[in-house]
Structure formats: C-alpha cells, structure tokens
Amino acid sequence: MDRRTLVEFVVAWFLVLLAAVVIILPIFNISNIKNVFVFIISFYGIIHIIKNSFILKSQDYSGFRTAAASLVVLIILLFLDVNDSPWNLALVLFIWVILMSLTKLKESDYYHDRANKLWELNIVNLILFIVTGILASISLNYYGDVQIIVLGFFFLINAILELMDPLAAYLITKK
C-alpha cells in the first residue's frame, strides 16, 4: 500500500470512529447540537489538513479544499443559531454538502485526468453523498438528541464512502 492510500485509509477510519462517537453522544446526555456540529466540522477540517500535509507530493489538494469548506461552515455557524432553529442547522449542513460536493467532483476530475479508474467510484460516491446529505438535511426537523443521531449517521455514511476510495485503490494496485 502506497503512502497516500495508507494515509487516506487511516483518516477514513478516524472519521468512522468520530461518527460512532457522535451517534452515542445522546446516551451521555450531550444534546447541544451547535457544540457537537462545531466539533464534527472542526475535526473534519483539521484531519483533512493533516492528511494533505502527509501527501503533499501527490499534488492532490482535496484535503485543503475540505478544510476550506469546513472553515466556511464554521464561520456561518457563528452567525446562525442552530440550537433553537432546526432549519438553520439544515441550511448549514446543506451548505457543507454543496461545498463538499464541489470538492468531491474536483477529486473525481483529478482521477479522470490521470486516467485512473477510481473516478467512476468517486462519481458514485459523490451521488450517494449528495443524496444522504439532502436526506439528512431534511431529517433535521427534530430537536436535540434526534438531530445528533441524524448527524452521526450522516457522517458515518460519509466516512464509509471516504473509506471506499483508499480500499478500492489498494485492491486495484494489488492486482
């Protein structure tokens, strides 16, 4: 397994663990959705900056674009009250899904330009990401615990989709 694939694989597993932790947060009576969402987005951005610092030689800057999308969402969260208005939370999540979709589309283009077959998998992952993002945004009409669980499952699905790319890259190069 090359360095880039290994780093992406480890990052995806960290994201799976983060999502699993978010799903069980309501068990411990943690229901402040703004703090949880800020933590998720911050962790997501920071871990992608770390990922890109390890794979700078590959000239794939999707981690920096992901961090920029996360930063934009964090700035928006400063101005919107997501604790009292589920529509604001849905709007912020939808904005993040749009920005991340652009990042994932650019990553698919990166693979396509290099005649790598992974671009097809990335397009499928992009479509699944958009669909789950829209469904998660629609499902945020509830309050507190349910919102945290919905976000947890959305980020779990997203982490699994991110895990598919390095896994497929490893299986392709193994043959």
Closest by CA position to 128, among listed 149, 108, 148: 108
Q: Rounded to the nearest 5 degrees, what angle is found at the Cα of 66, between the Cα atoms of 49 and 47?
A: 35
pLDDT, averaged per 10 consecutive residues of the chain (175 residues), comes to 88 96 94 93 94 80 90 94 89 96 90 85 95 94 87 96 92 80
Give the model's pLDDT for residue 75. 96
Q: Name the residue among 78, 73, 63, 123 with its Cα closest to residue 98.
A: 73
Rounded to two decimals, what is the model's pTM? 0.91
Output the pLDDT for position 58: 67
> What is the per-residue pLDDT for 83?
85
Q: Which tokens in the block code for residue 117?
A: 């077959």
Q: Which residues of 79-117 are buried (b: 16+ CB within 10 A; e: fewer)?
A: eeebbeebebbbbbbbebbebbbebbeebbebbeeeeee
pLDDT at 18: 96
- pLDDT at position 134 is 96
Contacts of residue 140, defined as CB under 8 A and 6 or more positions apart, other chains included, come to: 86, 89, 90, 93, 147, 150, 151
